[in-house]
Amino acid sequence: MPIKPGLMAFRSGEVLSYVAGVVLTGFFVVQLAQGEVERQGGIAEFELLAQQSATSVEPSAATSAPASNPTQDFEDVGAPDTSLWNAARVADYEASLKADLPQVLGVLEVPEVGLKVPVYATNTDLVMDRGAGVIDGMSYPHEPGNIGISGHRDGYFRVLKDVKVGDRIVLQTLEGEKTFKINATTIVPIADKTLLRDTDDQTVTLVTCYPFYFVGHAPKRFIVTASLDSPNVNQN
């Protein structure tokens, strides 16, 4: 019995639809498999990059840690020798350890008298309870000019009573170590600011109250002046 043209067309369409469905299903399966391969590859690549990043960052962080906080070594100069200190000043020092202080700009050392003290950016009483401070308007340790540093006469700076002309002052600064040689020690009235003037050459001026052993507000100032010891040191 001959097949009617309409039925043949219907059967042909049915077969074509089936074939198309198989092809589309196969294409979908292939795409799905390829996508899964890419996804797994992406995950593996991410994990590899993460491992490489962790490996490279950890040593870098350890290496750069001191540079991220350059003042850390400046501040950590160890506990001071308080054997010559006033008892009240020792108590003030201990209290200052709990206080927030300004930036540390360097470390001042006078090896001949055993002085080693952090130098802060200001010279408030609280700062000088903890260390020494840059006098307002005078140069910072890393700057040219007259570097003025003050400290309490009954604390860190009491040992200055024993310094002599020719003794060294070593200043650790943000641009490296600088060495100065003491030129003179001078006692002046409290209002005399002559030695605090700026200088063309880089100098250090240490200031504390005087007399060193005095009850009440000391009427004078003890000043140590020093000039740069070596012409090879960077003065900028």
**Active centre residues (catalytic):** 152, 209
CA distance 30 to 19: 16
Report the 10 Å Cβ neighbour count for 11: 11
CA atoms within 13 A on the CB side of 121: 8
Structure tokens at 195: 């030695």
At residue 206, φ and ψ (nearest 5 deg) are -100, 135
Strands 168-173 and 115-120: unpaired
